[in-house]
Amino acid sequence: MFAPVARLDIVRMILAIAARNKWSVHQMDVKSAFLNGFLEEEVYVKQPLGYEIDGQEGKVYKLKKALYGLKQAPRVWYSRMDEYLKGEGFKRSPSEPTLYIKVNQEGKILIVCLYVDDLIFTGDLLINEFKTAMKSEFEMTDLGMMKYFLGIEVNQSEDGIFICQNKYANDLLKRFRMMNCKPAVTPIATGTKLSKYDEGSYVDPTLYKRLVGSLIYLTATRPDIMFAVSLISRFMETPKSTHWQAGKRILRYIAGTTNYGIQYSSNSNFELIGYSDSDFAGSIDDRKSTSGYVFSFGSGAVAWASKKQPIVTLSSAEAEYVAVTAATCQSVWMRRIMTELLHEQQEPTQIFCDNKSTIALSKNHVFHKRSKHIDTRYHFIRELINSNEISVEFCRSEDQFADMFTKPLAKELFEIHRKNIGVCQL
């Protein structure tokens, strides 16, 4: 058994479903989650006078044992919660262990998601009764409608649900003394190429890692900075001044967009749609390409990624093929989750790609000349096309929303794509 930590993709999917169905999302906090550990030793913040047991080694051993007991607390709590929810008629998702679903004979549903000692839940099935039952079984605090979760601000209204990290973004700017900086219009300048061999002085790796880590968490509601953050995260081992300046450029962009977030609409058509893109040999260090994808339900984005590919590709078509395969794997997982949440996608999930050779390669099994050197695992996409789970469709490069996850864009195109994936102001 493990400590329950839900993927943020799941949290955003639940919020999108709730917005579509005009459900309210509620939150509860477990007071005693960390009191479930086995703490058998006395632990002192300051060693009391005259306290001598077993010598120094004995003290260290007992302290480690006590800390291990506290570390086990979330696991013990999750085991208790898992047993209780299953006894109340909930089924745990095989695709996401932190997700529990209860459906009655009338087809009404209650969705529960766990994140260590926090619960979020929504649906059209007896919300108040569930709260009462949880309070009687565990020591919990009812936080009402979800407003603030893991640093994410949630605004629920008749028009849908808006999520952002306004407070976190402002705190981040204060931490790095960038509150009064001049805002930038994009998170990364057009044509920017970074390398570990860049000239310039070395910067403090600890400070640089602190900046990158803080920015990574901001991508929970800000897909518009995903590529820029992914790019600077490649140089944490020996960061230089050029990498630090690229990080400060992201902060300058955030300074002008602190109140931006994602809007999930209540009037969307709720069809899972994906966009996949890649650059070709974008890394000047190892000539590897970058994959990017984004998925939505017709309004705001719910899942996105920007990641350097694990292999060196020999053409732009092959780079796009690897990127589409990554998007396909994400699509399969999301389709399974949607089926469990009673929102099964009947039609194949459309994944848009702006490379016709890639589309031909994904459909043509005898296209041997171009594909004989490609690893077998990347041909997984062909099976899904044949089974009607996905379809790869062509779109123009200017309509490729995932373009912003693979390369720096000019201001006009960046703002168009940012709007299309649902990033806006409240």
Angstrom distance (rounded) from CA 307 to CA 60 = 42
Confirm if 320 and 353 have CB atoms less than 8 A apart.
yes
pLDDT at 3: 65
pLDDT value of position 156? 95
Q: What is the mean pLDDT of residues 135-143?
A: 88
Token pair for residue 283?
A: 């890394």
Q: In what order do the strands lie in the sheet with 301-308?
A: 301-308, 290-296, 273-278, 349-353, 390-394
Structure tokens of 271?
């069809």
More confident residue, 126 or 168: 168
Superfamily of domain 268-425: Ribonuclease H-like superfamily/Ribonuclease H (3.30.420.10)
The per-residue pLDDT for range 198-236, each reduced to its tens digit, is: 999 999 999 999 999 999 999 999 999 999 999 999 999
Q: Give the Cα separation of 391 and 80 in Å (integer).
A: 42
Least confident of 20-34, 213-227, 294-308, 361-375: 361-375
Domain regions of the chain by residue span = 8-36+73-150, 166-255, 268-425
pLDDT, residue 266, reads 85
pLDDT per residue as tens digits for the range 235-275: 999 999 999 999 999 999 999 999 999 999 987 678 999 99
Question: What is the pTM for the complete model shown?
Answer: 0.87
**Dihedral class, residue 174 (left if φ above 0, else alpha if ψ from -120 to 50, else beta):** alpha
Q: Which CATH class is domain 8-36+73-150?
A: alpha beta
